Amino acid sequence: MALLKAGTRLKSAVCNTEVMIVAAPKDEVEVTCGGAPLVAMGEEGGGTIADDAKEGTQIGKRYVNEAGDLEILCTKPGEGSLAAGGTALTIKGAKPLPSSD
Amino acid sequence: MNLMMLLEMASSGMGDRVAITNGDDSMTYQELFDAASAAGAKARGAGAEYFAMLDESSLAFPIALFGAAWSGIPFVPLNYRLTGDELDALLTRVEPSLLLCEPEREEALAQREKANPFARHDCLSHTRSEGVDRLDPEWSMDPEEIAILLFTSGTTGAPKAAVLRHQHIVSYILSTVEFMSAEEEAAQLVCVPPYHIAGIASLASSIYSGRRIVQLPAFTAENWIETARREKITNAMVVPTMLARIVEALEGESSADLPHLQAVSYGGGKMPQPVIERAMDLFPDTNFTNAYGLTETSSTIAILGPDDHRSAMASDEPTVRKRITSVGQPIPTIEVEIRDDDGNALPAGERGEIYVRGEQVSGEYLGKGSLLLDDGFFPTKDGGYLDDEGYLFLEGRIDDIIVRGGENMSPGEIEDVLLDHVAIADAAVIGIPDEQWGEAVVASVVLKAGKSASASELQQWVKEHLRSSRTPEQVRFVDELPYNETGKLLRRKVREDFAD
């Protein structure tokens, strides 16, 4: 469990996924990728991707929890999938805005 | 959060795509990323605390912007039209600096003790050479660090430096642009200068969406049309005066002959209704978007989209038709409120000051702190109102409001009436000091070629359409009104003319 902060970069311990926290809940939460907790950028990972967390991540997609207070941007894709507190995160569907600049 | 993250994603997700073109030169996202690391190392090596820029747009602009972000110092684009004391005063405020400059200025700037001039061609060749110092691929992710300082031209006193932190620009991009959403052949023509918020926002938006930028530093309508045809431009951003000139240049041609042009966005000043209507005729298949934003809000906060344009033009309903003159609705991540002088929220239809709230809103000036209220809202100093469906109408700067005998009047309302007169091409209305009323309404107008009108005829015209208190006491005829390069009317100059 960790208290997340917007702007922090983290990476998967078991695949190539890298993320940035865009919005974080007030309380501690455990975010996993490929079944293993995310680790700090400099930290060593290890282990294998869990069978039930193999959907993969896509660069540029924003992942959210059901409550809507956690939002994570995938900055580098990987084979594991993201979850928070044991529940899979989903891709945030964004209605495209017309380009204004 | 750091702007660099946007470029890192672009270079890892689509590194071989061309990011940016200027004349015959271009760069891919990977090349831009590599050049930024060398520019960052150069800034750090020079002991710079600011990465300033005194030059027109070139490929060195994004190199410097991202180089600054990488090395952890603010990027400060300055108005390259400034000279003399005015420029000296600004340069002194952003030193010690690495100063990207036009080659002609290098020698003079080298006399400054704390500025390290970096001429455009040196920047372009140094940062793209093998074997030069580069920074490691790490940068601060502190969202509170300053990304950009933009000097805004106040009407009085020294220019203020608006502070945009990494969190403001990154939130703006993440909430308005989908990563790599542009088609590979998409190309955006940009002619706003680097020291304008739209110049920075268009770089960041285009890079994140993967849309190639084509720079056009010296705008003329002929240049613009020629470049748009040659580069197969799909998207363009213009200020109203530019669109007016483009429309004028195409007048007489049966069609615009710009088959690739899918979308045009405009903003930065008031668009004359005849210009947008004529543009929609000339480009029937092009999507027009009007964007409203401020430096202090990291660019766009409200949008009048293509569907809004078409339905307004097609409608007989006056309230819908009128929306062509609005700036549309707030984007989903921005809240807008209209408040009165005492700060109370006003209902739809009532005029007041525009307040905005959202993560992209900085509302901060260097040395003056944040102007955000306790509830997070920023008073824009723009006047306006919302209609029943939340369309926002602008009515000029609050500071420009004329107070005559205790009655508040918006210059825009009187200008619109003057512009409806058959002989008037352009009009500016201001208040000048008046002993009896506090302020008196006066107008400066430009006649259309071959048309004439007398002052008394125009006064009568305003009286017939508005209350008599709004009738200009003086009408002056001028050849043209003073505008800045992004199409903003310089009321200060009009006031000076009346003071003479």
The CATH architecture assigned to B3-188 reads 3-Layer(aba) Sandwich (3.40)
- Which of residues 63 through 92 in chain A touch B, CB cutoff 8 A? 73, 75-76
At residue B408 the predicted structure's pLDDT band, cuts being 50, 70 and 90, is confident
**Number of C-beta neighbours around residue B20 at 10 A:** 26
Tell me the per-residue pLDDT of B207-241, one tens digit each, with 9 for 90 and over: 999 999 999 999 999 999 999 999 999 999 999 88
Q: What is the mean pLDDT of residues B196-211?
A: 95
Looking at residue B192, the DSSP 8-state letter turns out to be S
Using CA atoms, how far apart are residues B258 and B405, in angstroms rounded to an integer? 52
CA distance B366 to B161: 5
Asked whether the beta carbons of residue B12 and residue A62 sit closer than 8 angstroms, the reply is no
Provide the pLDDT for residue B253.
77
- pLDDT for res B153: 67
The per-residue pLDDT for A46 is 86
> Contact, B436 vs B458, CB < 8 A?
no
Six token digits for residue B86? 């005015």
Could you report the per-residue pLDDT of B433-451, keeping only the tens digit for each?
A: 988 888 999 999 999 999 9
Q: Contact B198/A101, CB-based, under 8 Å?
A: yes
- B13–A96 CB contact, under 8 Å: no
Cβ neighbours around B266 below 10 Å, total? 23
Contact B55, B33 (CB under 8 A): no
Using an 8 Å Cβ cutoff, are B228 and B189 in contact? yes
* Structure confidence at residue B156 (pLDDT): 53
| CB contacts, 8 Å: A99 with chain B | 177, 188, 205, 209, 211, 235, 263, 265, 289
What's the CA gap between B198 and B217, in Å, rounded? 14
Q: What percent of chain A has pLDDT over 90?
A: 76
Cα distances (Å, whole numbers) of residue B339 to B200, B377, B400: 30, 11, 17
Where do the domains of chain B lie? 3-188, 401-499
User: Distance between CA atoms of B251 and B268, rounded to whole angstroms?
Assistant: 24
In this complex, is the C-beta atom of B201 within 8 Å of any C-beta atom belonging to chain A? yes
Residue B306 has pLDDT above 60, yes or no: yes
ipTM at complex level: 0.90
Q: Using the predicted structure, report yes or no on whether residue B290 has a pLDDT greater than 80.
A: yes
Mutate to test the interface with A, among B178, B191, B239, B266 (most CBs of A within 10 A): B178
Dihedral angle over CA of B65, B67, B68, B72, nearest 10: 140
- Alpha carbon distance B99, B76 (integer Å): 9
Q: What are phi and psi of B9, to 5 degrees?
A: -65, -40
B288-295 average pLDDT score: 96
Q: Residue B266's pLDDT band (boundaries 50, 70, 90)?
A: very high
| Contact yes or no for A68/A2 (Cβ under 8 A) | no
Strands B364-365 vs B75-77: parallel, antiparallel or unpaired? unpaired
Tell me what pLDDT residue B118 has.
98
Residues present in chain A in total: 101
Contact assessment for residue B88 and residue B42, using Cβ atoms and an 8 Å cutoff: no
CA dist B11 and A7 (Å) reads 20
Cis peptide preceding B96, ω within 30 of 0 = yes
Q: Report the DSSP pairing between strands B263-266 and B235-238.
A: parallel
Q: For chain A, what are the domain ranges?
A: 9-91
Task: Look up the CATH superfamily of B401-499.
Answer: ANL, C-terminal domain (3.30.300.30)
Say how many residues make up chain B: 500
Give the helix ranges, DSSP H, for B410-454: 411-419
Share of chain B above pLDDT 90, in %: 81
Q: Quick one: average pLDDT of B235-251?
A: 92
CA distance B148 to B168: 10
Alpha-carbon span B132 to B32, nearest angstrom:
15
**Tell me, what amino acid is at B417?**
V
pLDDT grade for B154, boundaries at 50, 70 and 90: low
Q: Is the pLDDT of residue B86 over 90?
A: no
Largest CA distance in chain B: 73
pLDDT exceeds 70 at position B185: yes
